[in-house]
Amino acid sequence: MPDIVIETMREKGFDLSMKKRKEITKEMLAGVDSVVAMVEVPMPEWLMESPKLTRWDVLDAKGKDLDFHRMVRDRIYQLVQNLISE
């Protein structure tokens, strides 16, 4: 995970320094209520067709500065809060 992401999340009390990205599998999908995609990346057809998939309109912060990362982090936080309140 990029240092800027780790720094941005640490500001909010989250330690992502040991976290690694995982590719979602059909088995993972079977065990969850929903999956949120935040960037436009190629996804397997079975995931794109799943009623569990929700897409959020979140800008990609890759290659951007710290302030941009903070803005994206705060947008995701708000979207998560909205999801929880539903």
Tens of pLDDT along 17-67?
999 888 899 999 999 999 999 877 788 999 999 999 999 989 989 999 999
What SS3 state is found at 17? coil
* pLDDT band at residue 80 under the 50/70/90 scheme: very high
pLDDT at 77 over 80: yes
Per the structure, the complete domain to which residue 75 belongs is given by 3-85
Q: How many domains does the chain have?
A: 1
Q: Are 46 and 60 in contact (CB under 8 A)?
A: no
User: pTM for this one?
Assistant: 0.81
Q: How would you classify residue 44: left for phi > 0, otherwise alpha for psi between -120 and 50, otherwise beta?
A: beta
Q: Which two tokens stand for residue 55?
A: 């897409």
List the CATH number of the domain containing 14. Answer: 3.40.50.2300
Contact 42, 23 (CB under 8 A): no
Check residue 78 and give its pLDDT: 95
